[in-house]
Amino acid sequence: MVMQARKKIGIAGYYCAILLLALGVVLGGSLRVYAMKIQEITTPGGIKALLVEEHSIPLMAMQFAFKGGSVQEDDGKEGLAYLLSALLDEGAGDMTSDQMQATLDELAIRMSFDASRDLFSGSFQTLTKNRDKAVEILKLALTKPRFDSDAIERMRKQILVSLKMGEKSPDTVVGKAWFKAAFPDHPYGRPTKGTTQSVSSLTRDDLVGFVKKNFARDNLTVAVVGDIDAKALSDILDSVFGSLPKTAKLKTIPEAKSPAGPMRKVIEMDVPQSVAQFGHQGIKRHDKDFIAAYVLNYILGGGGFSSRLMEEVREKNGLAYSVYSYLYPLNHASLFMGGVATKNSSMNRSMKLIEAEIRKMEEKGPTEEELKDAKLYLTGSYALRFDTSSKIANQLMWIQIEKLGLDYFDKRNDMVNAVTLEDIRRVAKRLFQADKLITAIVGKPG
Measured N-to-C along each axis, helices 389-401 and 408-417 cross at an angle, to the nearest 10 degrees, of 80
Domains in the chain, CATH or no CATH each: 13-241 (3.30.830.10), 263-443 (3.30.830.10)
List pLDDT tens digits, range 193-248. 999 999 999 999 999 999 999 999 999 999 999 999 999 999 999 999 999 999 99
Cβ contacts of residue 53 below 8 Å, gap of 6+?
37, 39, 226, 227, 228, 229, 230
Classify 293 as helix, strand or coil.
Answer: helix
The predicted-structure confidence for 6-58, as pLDDT tens digits, reads as follows 333 333 333 333 333 344 433 433 434 546 899 999 999 999 999 999 999 99
The pairing of strands 438-443 and 263-268 is parallel
The reported pLDDT for the residue numbered 36 is 85
Low-confidence ranges of the chain (pLDDT < 50): 1-32, 34
Distance CA 283, CA 84 (A): 31
CB-based contacts of 155, cutoff 8 Å, min separation 6: 2, 83, 86, 87, 90
Q: What is the DSSP string of 122-140?
A: EEEEEEGGGHHHHHHHHHH
Nearest-CA neighbor of 294 among 360, 352, 381, 180? 381
- Helix 368-380 × helix 421-431 angle, to 10°: 90
